Structures are given as structure tokens and as C-alpha cells.
Amino acid sequence: MVERIEDLNLPNAVIARLIKEAIPDGSNVSKEARAAIAKAASVFAIFVTSSSTALAHKQNHRTITAKDILQTLNELDFESFVPSLTQDLEVYRKMVKDKKESKANKKDTSTGDAAASSSSAAAATENGEAE
Amino acid sequence: MVDASKLQQQQRKPSADTFLPLSRVRTIMKSSMDTGLITNEVLFLMTKCTELFVQHLAREAYTATCGETLKYEHLSQLVNKSKNLEFLLQIVPEKIRVHEFQEMLRLNRASGSDEDDDDDESGSESESEAE
């Protein structure tokens, strides 16, 4: 599954940006510190995943759910993450739902008469012209 | 300082965008999971969660710097004193000098203890490979 160990590293540039966002403007981060944070983040992801998997299995679920992850974070003493993650999840779910709906709408209009669809054309531009 | 970090997290706008690449996070998650299925929602949550973790780590470690450059030592100190970062002890170990290490070995031998701490490095290495 993982061919090279580098496949588990997170991209340096993104990590650097996230760190920069978290600390005051103009402060510096040593290369070594950045590398350590990146490594820690990979290990954190593995740690949370395996803990969530264990939790899901304990409840006789085969795959982990968002709820498992949030509960795991609570158990691992990262409960401060949960409120903002819950909000993010809400936004994400809404986005997925909207996407689905707009896709369904598009299907309807494309099967209908294309010439008489001035309103659907407006809807299509609103959808950002995914096609 | 915990309050300050919490405040900052709450100020952050919830969003469905991620900075870290989802595909990479999926690879990382798969490296630790026995079941192959990861839903998009879980993947999104995990990515967000890892981002929060990076920022949490940077922010907390930075409070110890008194405005100077964030260095590796600040991170290892943080890991050492935080209960919820215990899982990183082998990933971000405290650096010690060679002569300190030799002194430790000497003391160990002198006290006649037969517990072997000397293969610490190889131990942590094989562990990270196993994960």
C-alpha cells in the first residue's frame, strides 16, 4: 500500500503555511522544528486513525465514522479540537448536499428541452460550470 | 495560554476547504487501517483535524520561545510536559549530548542496573516502520 516511506510525509510548504498562520507575524521557525512538526502531524493522523478504528471495532462497526473520530479526540485529550471540527463538518456536509442537489438539477434540465431552458442556463452558470 | 489558543480556534471561520492534500492523508490513514474503506467525510475530518494539530503544536510550542525563533528544543520540551502528546515521545525525543549520554551509561553501569536503555534508537526506528 505504502511503497515509499516518504509517502507518509505531509507536504512541507503546506505545513510551513499552517505554522506561520498559528504564530505571530514575523516570527521564525527553524527547519528542524518544522520537520519535527510535519513528522508529528503524520504520526498524529496514524494515531487518531488507529484509535478510531479500535473504537469502531469495539462497537462492531467495520468502518470508522466522523463520530468515532470526534469521540476518539475526546478520549485522547484533544477535546479542544472538537467544537471547530464539528462546525467544519457541518459546512462540509452542507457543501456535499448542495453539490448533490445541483447535480440532480442539472440532470433534469439536460434531459429536458435544451432550447427552452433559459432558467436552467442561469442555474448552470450559478453552479460554476463544472462541465 | 490554553485559553488563548482556544480563542483563536473559535475565531477561525469554519470552512469546507482543506490545506493539506486529501490523497496524502488517505495514504497515511490507510497505512494504519486494517479495513480499506475510508469515506470522504472521514477523510475530510481527519485532514482538518491534522491541520488543527499542526497549528496547535506550533502555537503551544511558540509560547515557550518568548518571541524568538521556534526551535526543535521548544517542541521536545512541549512533548515532554504534555500528557496528550505522550505518543510523540519517541518521535520528537529530547536531544542529549554525547557526553551526557556516556555519563548516563556510566551511572547505569555503576548502579549495577541491568536494564538496557542503549538500543533506544533502534527500538523507535523499528516501531515507526511497523506502524
What interface predicted TM-score (ipTM) does this complex get? 0.80
**Could you tell me the pLDDT band of residue B131, with boundaries at 50, 70 and 90?**
very low
- Cβ distance A64 to B42 less than 8 Å, yes or no, reads yes
Within a domain: A120 = no
Chain B touched by A83 (CB under 8 Å): yes
How much is the average pLDDT of A18-45? 95
Q: How many helices (H) and strands (E) does chain A have?
A: 5, 0
Residue A121 located in a structural domain? no
CA of A53 vs chain B CAs: smallest distance (Å): 7
Is pLDDT of B124 > 60?
Answer: no
The tally of domains found in chain A comes to 1
The confidence score (pLDDT) of residue B34 equals: 72
Say what the pTM is. 0.76
N-term to C-term CA, chain A: 33
Cβ-defined contact of B33 to A33 (cutoff 8 Å):
no
pLDDT given for residue B48 in this prediction = 97
* Best residue in A1, A9, A10 for a mutation probing chain B (most B CBs within 10 Å): A10
Predicted pLDDT at B13: 75
Cα B94 to its chain centre, rounded Å, is 12
Residue A126 covered by a domain? no
Which of A67-76, B11-20, B100-109, B115-124 has the highest mean predicted lDDT (pLDDT)? A67-76
Q: Give me the domain span that covers residue A63.
A: 5-104
| Average pLDDT of the residues in B3-18 | 63
- Is the predicted pLDDT of residue B27 greater than 70, yes or no? yes
pLDDT at B9: 47
Judged by a CB distance cut-off of 8 A, whether residue B42 touches chain A is yes
**Is the CB of B75 inside 8 Å of chain A's CB atoms?**
yes
Neighbour-count burial of A33, counting CB atoms closer than 10 A to its CB (0-12 exposed, 13-18 middle, 19+ buried): buried
| Residue of A18, A51, A59, A91 to mutate, interface with B, max B Cβ within 10 Å | A18
Q: Greater confidence, B121 or A17?
A: A17
CA B106 to chain centre: 30
Of B5, B28, B72, the CB nearest to A36: B72
Residue A111: which pLDDT band, with cuts at 50, 70 and 90? Answer: low
CATH number assigned to the domain comprising residue A81: 1.10.20.10
CA angle A59–B23–A85, rounded 5-degree value: 55
DSSP for residue A11: P
Residue A104 has pLDDT above 50, yes or no: yes
A26 touches chain B (CB under 8 A): no
Classified as helix, coil or strand, B96 is coil
Position B74 confidence tier, pLDDT thresholds 50, 70, 90: very high
